[in-house]
Amino acid sequence: MATNRFFDNTGLTVSDGTLAKAIQLNNLSSETNKAFEVVESEIDVIGAAQSLANKWANDPQGTEPEPIAYPGAYSARANAEEAEAWASGTAGVDTEADGVTTITYSAKEKADEAAASASAASSSASAASTSESNALTYRNEAEGFKDDAETAETNASASASSASGFASAASTSASNASTSETNAQLRAWEAEAEKKTAESYATEAEDTFVNVWTSDGDGTFTATPTTDYSALHWKAKAEAVATPPATGQDTFAGNGNTKTVAHGLGGAPSGVTVTAAADPGGYLGEVWVTWDATNLYVGNSGSFTGAFTYVAYQ
């Protein structure tokens, strides 16, 4: 009689031509029942494992697949929906995996803010250019006034008979020219300050506050930090948040060995889920996964070497 790990045929052999005894038939029935009970028990275990795996894959937001063993941990579906909310959701409406906590902002919202900041910076740069052009015009006018004053002063010296009158007129003209030149220079410095402010709103480095520049009235400028960030800052933040998760498939190494899988995220992930892609028939064993900036390292203690799927989050 054939045997396997579910059935023990010790003492159940009957010789050919010999009538089996009742006790032998009872023993056979008993061992057969035990074998079926073991098989049914393992089928129940496999069913329970399959049900739990399905919960880890598909439970909705706010539902913990194993609240006692893994409190605060949620399914792949819940985490995927949270990732989608962070990428393109609406703050205060879309939620994280726990189904309660709302996201503070999405990558799309920050990208929109960055675009608005860039537009404002462009407008400021245009205004600064206009101010600079006006300042140049005022300076040219001032130089013209100065030339007129010098001409009047020369004429006054040549006309000795009316020197006093012409000298007074020349003095007034010179004063006006000097005032115009001073005002033109002040406006040029103010235009330069506005230009520096516009450049700060457009190109200030990531995580660095924008400066508002003012003229000191003597060719120097003072920078006053704000609590705003530049268009360049928000563009970098939007690109970082929008990084999608890495997904893929490979096979278990089995028997306590690990399989190395390149995740391609460009940095160490913040979380990884690994799920058997086929029924392991009870031979999967314990599963573990570690990672670094380049690879995932997936291991299992059982002899199962079939396929698995993974999701790695930045």
Do the strands 258-262 and 246-251 form a parallel or antiparallel pair, or are they unpaired?
unpaired
Where are the chain's structural domains?
A: 107-238, 243-314
Distance of alpha carbon 262 from alpha carbon 248, whole angstroms: 10
Q: Which CATH number fits domain 243-314: 2.60.40.10, 3.20.20.70, 1.10.3430.10, 3.30.200.20?
A: 2.60.40.10
Strands of the sheet containing 246-251, edge to edge, are 246-251, 307-313, 271-276
pLDDT of residue 128: 60
3-state DSSP assignment of residue 310:
strand
Q: Where are the alpha helices (DSSP H) in the chain?
A: 22-58, 76-88, 107-158, 163-203, 231-241
State the pLDDT at residue 2.
45
Q: Which residue positions in the chain have pLDDT lower than 50? A: 1-3, 163
Strand 258-262 relative to strand 271-276: parallel, antiparallel, unpaired? unpaired
Dihedral sign, Cα of residue 284, residue 264, residue 70, residue 80? negative
Q: Give pTM, 2 decimals.
A: 0.32
pLDDT at residue 3, as a whole number: 46
**How many Cα atoms occupy the beta-carbon half-sphere of 299 within 13 Å?**
9
pLDDT digits (tens, 9 = 90+) for 107-117: 889 988 888 87
CB neighbourhood size of 263 (10 A): 23
| pLDDT given at position 232 | 87
284 SS3 class: coil
